[in-house]
Amino acid sequence: MELSASDPILMPALLFTLILFPFLAAFGAYLAVSDRLLKVIIVVTGVALVTASLVLSAQVPFSFALSPDGPIAFRAVIEVADFALLSLIFYFGWKHRHPTIMALAALQGVLLLYVQFLLSEGQAHWPVFYGDNLALIMIFIISVVGSIICFQALDYMKAHEQHQGLDRSRRSRFFSIMVLFLGAMNGLVLANDMAFFYFFFEVTTLCSFLLIAHDRTPVAVSNALRALWMNCLGGAAFTVAMTGVALHVNSLDLSRLTSAGPADGVLLPALAFLGLAAFTKAAQFPFQSWLLGAMVAPTPVSALLHSSTMVKVGVYLVFRMAPAIRGTFLSHCLAVFGGFGFLAAAALAVGQSNGKKVLAYSTISNLGLMIACAGLNTSAALTAGVLLILFHAVNKALLFLCVGTIEQRIASRDIEDMRGLYTIMPVTALMTVFGVIMMIMPPFGLMLGKWMAMEAAATNLFVIVMVTLGSALTVMYWARWAGILMSDPFAGRFTPERQPWPTWTALGCLCLGGGILSVAAPWLYSLWFTRALSPGYEPPYGVHGGILENAVGAFAVWPLAGVAAVGFVLAVVAVYRAGGARIVKPYVSGLQTDTPGVFTGPLNQPVQARASNYYLSSLFGESRLTVWFNLAAVALLGLILGGAL
């Protein structure tokens, strides 16, 4: 695929809007003196990002090089910014007396100096920014889904601070970091120069630390520090990889590194360390604890980290390096490592009743499946992986925002406390169930992506077994949650639900987006996904004739969507008929009292009858499995790094 000549006026404007404008908006949000001004800044930034991402779609593929003779030496600015950023991270390590953070920040600084020493004069003229369809998909996820999350957070954070009883609002600081996060992610996705990529890579590390610690409780600070040191480990791995690339290629041109086909032996260690950096960002075992700890942050932070920003950095990096490791032992190890993460996280999710933890383990599991697709490294697998990236972002953003809305109403995130939620929050409960259905059932895109991944893994015994078992466990915990939401007896009586209009707008857009994108999957497949692959792979997935596609690669979406529509109509009819139903109290062996749900127990004492799911903690408990999963992951990491060295 040939690169289009970048427009000398339009392209700089788009890059400014997508990358630099959020940085400026973050500064403005931090200084905002009123809620109205803060809302204007967030809305204007979101509209600008969405508009720029749509305009950018007509420019892909493109490359853009900053002139070394221009009035601003951007490379020098980035180099100075790198050291300023590391100094800030070192300061936080010193402030909180965390020697690991300080040591990792210092190591990165030393390696950066060495990389600059290795690069010869006149070599730093490769394109700084590069965009293809994979980058465009990521830009849409960041700009659209990320903006929706920020928009929903406007009223959520106001209620959150009221619940905390703060004397002085910290919303301006919160939204400045959220918007900065979006700009850093856009910069990372479009960066072709590894030095620029590294800068934005570390900005996301700093933003996640600040957002996780936002509430400033001891638990929040402790979990934020864990996230910081683990992601600093990823930053150190990235600088080791940069050193190897600069040493052997004398270039930091990422597209040159990944588009030249399988790398030779001297570059494989560098690519293995890039993989390690990706695993830390994607919270794969044994680094999953930082993402689980991040659940203490306000729910919009969780939604942003899981759907459109932090964890997607790791997956994007793995997909970028996939062409360079195709056919190597490293690629095979990557597939097994991802499949293991998919199965392990799904198993741990089964034993959870905390809604946000279920969502967190589900994210880790799905990211593992995406990494497995990159490791399988065929056009079928990569197409499935890119499909999973898109639909996972929309679905997980919807579910996190629904859980946050529910938590503010019932003061709990335990899914057992959500039993019969539709009677008091009918719309939010319905949207949550819809989000769950989109995770596990056709015709929705996530299910189709998993099906494609299983077809792609059919020739790899280890991966297909892990993916199949993980998929079965996934259905188990999602179906349980949906059943709890709709479990109480119903006789046509709903309590009217009121939410701020930004909340309804955000949840509605994500619901509609998930449905529309699923119906549009055939066109997306032809327009974006098959073109997201790098040259050198076999023909697109469609020619292989999978069970859910025809000879041109189009999913059988419409028949499946028709079945889903009929099911929805039947559900509406059932709800209408239930309006005249009579609720009968559960029979408790003739010992029930006049109080609903209460029976006479031992010593004639009243006992509240309570139904609860089994969480099989003896089999799937965190305390039982986490240590063994972490040990297995360390062994696999040793295999990955040892096999590349």
Among the residue ranges 63-72, 88-97, 556-565, the one predicted with the least confidence is 63-72
As a whole number of angstroms, the longest Cα–Cα distance in the chain is: 90
Q: Do β-strands 598-600 and 606-608 pair in parallel, antiparallel, or remain unpaired?
A: antiparallel
Q: How does the average pLDDT of the chain come out, rounded?
A: 84
> What letter would DSSP give residue 19?
I
- Looking at per-residue confidence, does 37 or 571 come out higher? 37
pLDDT band at 551 (very low <50, low <70, confident <90, very high): very low
Contact 624, 618 (CB under 8 A): yes
Reported as a pLDDT band with limits 50, 70 and 90, residue 491 is low
Sign of CA dihedral 73, 78, 83, 85: positive
Mapping DSSP to helix (H, G, I), strand (E, B) and coil, where does residue 157 land?
helix
Least confident of 48-62, 187-201, 302-316, 365-379: 302-316
Chain Cα centroid distance, residue 427: 25
What per-residue confidence (pLDDT) applies to 209? Answer: 95
Sign of CA dihedral 429, 433, 439, 444: negative
Local confidence band at 532 (pLDDT 50, 70, 90 cut-offs) = very low
For residue 108, what are its two tokens?
Answer: 């990165």
pLDDT surpasses 90 at 444:
no
| Pair 18, 53: CB distance under 8 Å | yes
End-to-end CA distance of the chain: 33
pLDDT in tens, 70-102: 545 677 788 889 999 999 999 999 999 999 999
Nearest by Cα to 194 from 265, 269, 249, 268: 249
Distance CA(427)–CA(463), nearest Å, equals 39
Mean pLDDT of 536-555: 42
d(CA 469, CA 76): 50
Name the residue with tokens 């967190």.
360
* Proportion of the chain above pLDDT 90, given as a percent: 47
* CB neighbourhood size of 592 (10 A): 16
pLDDT of 206:
95
Total-model pTM: 0.91
Higher pLDDT, 633 or 130: 633
Which tens digits make up the pLDDT trace of 241-258?
999 888 887 778 887 777
**Average pLDDT of the segment spanning 290-309:** 88
Lowest average pLDDT, out of 232-236, 314-318, 455-459, 473-477, goes to 455-459
- Three-state secondary structure call for residue 621: coil
**For 261-265, what is the mean pLDDT?**
66
Angle at CA 381, nearest 5°, toward 554 and 337?
Answer: 150
List C-alpha distances in Å: 110 to 83, 89, 94, 124, 230: 10, 14, 18, 20, 19
The pLDDT confidence band at residue 630, using thresholds 50, 70 and 90, is very high
Type and span of the H or E element at 78: helix 74-95
- Residue 104, pLDDT above cutoff 90: yes
Span 321-349, pLDDT tens digits: 888 888 889 999 999 999 999 999 999 99
Question: Residue 523: which residues within 8 A CB-CB, separation 6 or more?
Answer: none
Q: At what angle do helices 355-376 and 445-456 cross, to 10 degrees?
A: 40
What is the share, in percent, of the chain residues with pLDDT greater than 70? Answer: 85
More confident residue, 301 or 553: 301
Residue 543 has pLDDT above 50, yes or no: no
> Residue 223: is its pLDDT beyond 80?
yes
- Mean pLDDT in residue range 526-549: 47
Pick the range with the lowest mean pLDDT from 185-194, 258-267, 361-370, 557-566: 258-267
Q: Which residue has the tokens 């986490």?
A: 626
Q: Is the pLDDT of residue 1 over 70?
A: no
Choice among 15-24, 306-315, 477-486, 489-498 with the minimum mean pLDDT: 489-498
| pLDDT 10s digits, 610-624 | 777 777 787 888 888
